[in-house]
Amino acid sequence: MLRPTLGTCLGFGTSEELDAAIAHARDALQLTHHVEHIVALSTALRCRFLRAGNFGDFEETVRLLDAVPRPTFKDIGTASLVLHDRHFSHERHWVQLAAWLESQGYRLPARFRPGWEPSWLKDNSFPLSRSDYHAAKFNRISATRIEDGATVWLKLAPVDTAELDISAFFISAPLRFDARNRCCPLLDFLRPPLINDKPFWLIVTPLLRDTMDPTPETVEELARILLALGLVFMHENNVAHRDICLNNTMMDATRLIPGGWSPFVTSRVFPDNSSTGQPLRVNSRSRVPVDYYYIDFGLSTRFPSFADRQLVVGDIAQNISVPELSKRVPYDPFALDVRMYGDMIRRLQYAYCGLDFLQPVVERTVSDNPAERVAAPEVLATLRSVVASQSKASLLVPLRERGSSHVMAWMRYPFRLLANVTSL
């Protein structure tokens, strides 16, 4: 997994030099409360947080930046930029942000940089095979981290959500060192100019991939995913996700797909920054380690302690079948997570054959009465128990979608039995 972005921190030198820079910036700010002193102190504190994980440094950084007026695109000189006629209107702000992001250490794809001309128009090639044909989303875009050439995601997070706070919390010390931490790592965070007159945080995360793309080959591989995505760590740290579903899980596929992939054309790779894509080379999940993560904490709630936990309200989620979701009637967000985790397994049972052994987990998690659902540690214990009760041969059964032909899937079964695949 990528380390946090440190390019803008290199000028501070060692940890001792960074501490001295922070002390000097504090002294300067006490003498004169100028914006440049606030920015200098917040930059140094942000760097120390990314390096060492002191959550107090993060909280102070946010407080300092909140005291500084946000710039506009007019302030940074890009308000009058003219879009290419092949750009979409929802991409305008990325074009306007390109130069500013470059100054912050992130280079956007060619489509969003000055002087872009569509590559497929130059030689009348097939547009879908060109990397610059594919548009960004309003709130998310890929970028190259200039300090090391790594591809990362940039995501706009509204300031009135807890997404940045919770993402930063999970990379604070000592949580960043806990092997059970399955929350998407935060690499960096920036404070961009106002976009459509609204403030956002810009969150930088690794380039992850949909958990089920490609589909796991065996029942065992799917069981590994569910075991990795247990809720215990989040709940132990008093965070309720409140939108648990497969769409909010992703994987670090750098070893599964060592040649990489395009962020927006996930079935292809564009090597050496060329425009023409090539097919992917995919390893087996049973042969290489794969890490799985929860993403998107925009609906999540973090409580200071177990004693401070409270009921919440809200009816927004991808899984709206949970009966207690309500704008007015408070409910337990941790019991909500358990129900959504059970529903996630239940939907996998509907989609794939051979998962009936997971039924004890489903039965303990999906009651319409939140009081009848077990807590996260019991969910994980039950899952571990039912997986351990299965024979190795049954776990190596091909994972097959319901309604699909079983012939091709079963042709590889003898080879899986003969292979020395690591046990769960």
pLDDT at 8: 66
298: three-class secondary structure by DSSP: coil
How high is the pLDDT of residue 199? 97
Residue 419's region, left for phi above 0, alpha for psi from -120 to 50, else beta, is beta
What was the pLDDT predicted at 263? 84
What is the pLDDT, as a whole number, of residue 10?
65
Amino acid at 301: T
**DSSP symbol at 364:** T
Q: Is 113 strand, coil or helix?
A: coil
Tokens describing residue 154 = 């940039």
CATH 3.30.200 fits 89-206, yes or no: yes
- Provide the CATH topology of domain 209-253+290-418: Transferase(Phosphotransferase); domain 1 (1.10.510)
CB 336 within 8 A of CB 375: no
Q: What is the pLDDT along the chain (424 residues), one digit of tens a residue?
A: 667 777 667 677 888 999 999 999 999 999 988 999 999 999 999 999 999 999 999 999 999 999 999 999 999 999 988 888 888 899 999 999 999 999 999 999 989 988 888 877 877 767 777 777 778 899 999 999 999 999 999 999 999 999 999 999 999 999 999 999 999 999 999 999 999 999 999 999 999 999 999 999 999 999 999 999 999 999 999 999 999 999 999 999 999 998 888 887 777 777 654 556 677 888 889 889 999 999 999 999 999 999 999 999 999 999 999 999 999 999 999 999 999 999 999 999 999 999 999 999 999 999 999 999 999 999 999 999 999 999 998 998 899 988 766 666 666 555 554 544 433 3
Q: How far apart are CA 126 and CA 121, in angstroms?
A: 9
Indicate the domain borders of the chain: 7-66, 89-206, 209-253+290-418
User: Quick one: tokens of 355?
Assistant: 């998962």
- Looking at residue 423, what is its pLDDT? 35
Per-residue pLDDT at 68: 92
Q: Can you give the pTM of this predicted structure?
A: 0.91
Using the CB atoms, write b or e for 297-325: b if 16+ within 10 Å: bbbbbbbeeeeebeebebeebebeebebb
